[in-house]
Structures are given as structure tokens and as C-alpha cells.
Amino acid sequence: MISRTMAADLPRHVGEHVRIAGWVHRLRVLKSVSFLVVRDRSGLAQVVLTGPLDVGEETVVEVHGLVTANDRAPGGAEVTGPRITVLATSTPPPFDLYRPTVTATLPTILDNAAVALRHPRLRAPFEVSAASVAGFRAALRERGSTEIHTPKIVGSATESGASVFGVDYFGTPAFLAQSPQLFKQAMVGVFERVHEVGPVFRAEPHDTTRHLAQYTSLDAELGFVADHRDVMALLRAAVAGMVAAVAQDAPAAVALLGAALPDVPAQIPEIHFTDAQALLARHTDTDPRGEPDLAPAHERWLSAWAEREHGSEFLFVTGYPMVKRPFYTHPDPDRPESSNSFDLLFRGLELVTGGQRLHRHADYVAALERRGEDPAAHQDHLDVFARGMPPHGGFAIGLERWTARLLGLDNVRRAALFPRDRHRLHP
């Protein structure tokens, strides 16, 4: 059997007999001739037929034929004199995959993911996701970080705020991990710098365009930091690596969706939480001072301000009040009510949260007691910090949220192959 030629390579094979294979993207029957458009992972190929053919869209076909130059064909070449073999038939797709735009609703797309995602516009976000993850890992590895894999079934909940899924673990109640937080911190004691790309689980009761019950978390943790600024520098490198990888690996996907990749400044501008509040009080008709967090409208305003003032689509907001941050957050030594933590805003939205963590056992016990929590409930977490842990910090990027924001998608579900939410457990 002659080896398969990809659709995009046809122009380089004019005059040769080839074998192509793919899906029936469209069949256009004219009076004396028909055009069969075959789609493979590289693009589209036009096959010219003079006889009849009865195949539905999404039928899988193999075509032997002669590559012939034709200016009006995609890429300037088409397959003529074809011999066509049907490899598998298909029921009619739920909407026309050959049309440039998608009019199907999101539920139709999600219910039919196995076929809907073949539409180039619906597939594109996942090419961007794959490139982003590769860029994330490459940036971390270059900086001496070790990739780790941690348990997703845990004996106790790490993030007190979020809701957890219960698992029956050989008759013992257990939970799905809401983050690898404890484990990545513990592994700083072994490898100093670690990263993990894996699923995290949140039993989100809310049905929003931004939340999933399972998402892919890009986690990093870094030891021997001076403070949260070392973590911010690592995050900046990771984001720059992600954007560069998308530009290199998935430019067609970005262009197809009409998105623009951001510049990542060598130094992302930053503003302290209290300065951000003062700015908002001075320039908007709200006065958020005294509030412990920023509202979405405030994040949008600050993001626009950073673009205006600093020419940056990214903005670090630092020094969030301790009261709104997890118990493992390190306070600002000079202003203990502020934290050594940050959010990274991107195009109006919080994209990443991170910061320096507590690293001394006694500080953990005190922090939990101050919050009225029982240290015994965090035994696994606390034990690690009796073992000699260096000053450290880290961050987590939600992959689906990243991709959606980068490409301007209206729903994070468009960046998840088979999203899981309160109402969706299939397919």
C-alpha cells in the first residue's frame, strides 16, 4: 500500500498517484462533475468525480488518484480519476461542519462533541490549549523545575472554601483533590521547584460561563524565594512561554478565531491592592476602600488602566488582605493584614492567583487557630512543615480559563473537550 499523503501536501505531489484519507467534508454535485472535499488533520483536499457517488458527510474515505494542478482548487491542486473506498459510514452530523461559522447552540455542540469538535473553529481552542501546556512545561523545565504527579483522591479537603466531591474509597469516605496544593508544597522540600499539569475537582454549585466541575490546573511551586516577587517572575516566564508556544505551534488556530496574542512585558506592571482601591475611588463612581476583595467591574477597570498607562494587557495586583486568602498564605512582614500574594489580571479578568506560602510549622498552627480552625483537621498539611521547609510560593493557572480568555471565547466550556458541570456528566 502506498503511504498516505496529507491534504496540505498535495501541491507538492502534482503529477503523482497518491493515497489520501479523511472525512467527507462536503460533496457538491454539479451537472457534469462532482466535487468531493476530504478533510484530514492537515486541511482540505478537493477530489473531482465524473461518475455518481453516494456518501454522506463525515463518512470516512480513502481515495487513490492523480494529483492535478488546478488554480481554482484549494492550494492549487486536486485529485482526479479517483478510486474511492468507504472505511466507515456516519449518521448525519448535528449541524453543517463545512460552513465557515457555527450556528449550533453550545448544548448541541457539547452533546455531540465527538463530531462537533471536528469543525475547524471548534477544534481550534484545543490546538491552542495543547500548545499552551507545552509552553508552560518548557518554561518550567528550563528553570530547573521537576514535573510531578500527585494524588487526586485525598483523605481531607485542602481548600476550605471550595466544595468537594466525595469518593467511596474502599469503604472509607474520601474526596477528590481540589488542588495539588499540599503535595506541591511538600515536594518543594524534595525538588525545590516542581510543576504539575493535572485535573482538579470542584463541586461548583453555580452554573456560570467560568466554572467547571473538573478543570486542568497548571501548577507550579518554587522554593528559596525572597518573597512573592520571585513567584511573580516565574509566572511571568511561564506565561511568556505559553504565548510563545501558541504563536509557534498554533498560529492558524489563533488566526481562524480572529484572536490576537498579547505581548508579555519583560516586567509586568504591578499595583498594590490598597493603591488599586485608592485609584478606583479616585477615578470611578465607586469607593471600594475597606472591601476585602475586588469586584469584577474593578478588575476590568484596572486592566484597562494598565493597558492605558503601561501598554500592558497583564497586571499584577499584590497585597490582597489576608482575610480573603487561604490559610497557607504568607503575610506581608511590614503590613501583616496584607498578604504576600497576587492576582494576575489579563484582559479584564483574574487569570492566576498565587503568592508566598507560610513555611514554618508554628506559623501554620497559629494561622489556623486565628481562623478558628482545628489544626488537627489539617494534619497531613501541617506535618510537612515540621520537616524543614524553605520559604516558598507558587501559583496555579486554569487551562480552560486561560484558553477561553486568550481566544475571547464566551464560555469556558468551549475550551474543555467534554466539560463536566452540575448538569453534565455525559458524554
Annotated binding site for ATP: 202-204, 210-212, 350, 398-401
Query: Cα–Cα distance between 275 and 213 in angstroms, integer?
Result: 34
Q: Which amino acid is at 292?
A: P
- Considering only 134, 271, 368, 397, the residue that binds its own copies (CB under 8 A) is 134
Please state the residue numbers annotated as binding site for L-aspartate. 159, 202, 353, 357
Nearer to its own copies (CB atom), residue 145 or residue 341: 145
Site pattern 342..381 for its own copies (x: CB under 8 A)? -----------------xx-------------------x-
Which listed residue (76, 107, 155, 296) binds its own copies by CB under 8 A?
155
Number of residues binding to its own copies, judged by CB under 8 A: 90
- Residue 159 interacting with its own copies (CB under 8 A): no
Q: Applying CB under 8 A, which part among 210-218, 238-246, 282-290, 337-345 lies near its own copies?
A: 210-218
In the complex, what is the shortest distance from the CB of residue 292 to its own copies, in angstroms, rounded to a whole number? 29
Does residue 202 touch its own copies according to CB under 8 A? no
Close Cβ partners of 11 (under 8 Å, ≥ 6 residues apart): 75, 76, 77
User: Is residue 287 at the binding interface for its own copies, with CB under 8 A as the rule?
Assistant: no
In this chain, which of 121, 141, 300, 310 binds its own copies, going by CB under 8 A?
141
83 lies in the binding site for its own copies (CB under 8 A)? no
Residue 242 and residue 139 in contact, taking contact as beta carbons nearer than 8 Å = yes
Instruction: Enumerate long-range contacts of 24-32, CB under 8 Å, 24 or more apart.
Output: 24/55, 24/56, 24/57, 24/58, 24/59, 24/60, 24/61, 25/57, 25/97, 25/98, 26/57, 26/98, 27/53, 27/55, 27/57
Complex with its own copies: residue 345 or 407, whichever CB lies closer: 407
Asked if residues 329 and 358 have their Cβ atoms less than 8 Å apart, the reply is: yes
Binding to its own copies in span 89-118, by CB under 8 A: 89-91, 93, 113-115, 117-118
Residues 391-410 that bind its own copies (CB under 8 A): 391, 399
Q: Is 186 in the site for its own copies (CB under 8 A)?
A: yes
Q: Tell the residue number behind the cell numbers 521547609, with chain if given.
A: 389
Q: Which CB, 269 or 375, lies closer to its own copies?
A: 375
Binds its own copies (CB under 8 A): choice among 2, 30, 266, 425: 425
String of DSSP letters for 309-323: HH--SEEEEE--BGG
The span from the CA of 361 to the CA of 379, in Å, is: 11
Q: Which is nearer to its own copies, 130 or 244 (CB)?
A: 130
Query: Which DSSP letter does residue 89 get?
Result: -
The reply to whether 242 sits near its own copies by the rule CB under 8 A is no
One of 146, 284, 286, 353 touching its own copies (CB under 8 A) = 146
Q: How far is the CB of 92 from its own copies (least distance, A)?
A: 10
End-to-end CA gap in the chain? 36
Nearer to its own copies, 311 or 390 (CB): 390
- The C-alpha atoms of residue 108 and residue 410 are separated, in whole angstroms, by 16
Quick one: which of 395, 414, 413 has its CA closest to 350? 395
Please list every residue from 41 through 60 that binds its own copies, using CB under 8 A: 41, 58-60
List C-alpha distances in Å: 414 to 128, 190, 385, 400: 12, 37, 40, 8
Measured distance CA(39)–CA(20) in Å, rounded: 10
Q: Which of 8, 53, 106, 130 binds its own copies (CB under 8 A)?
A: 130
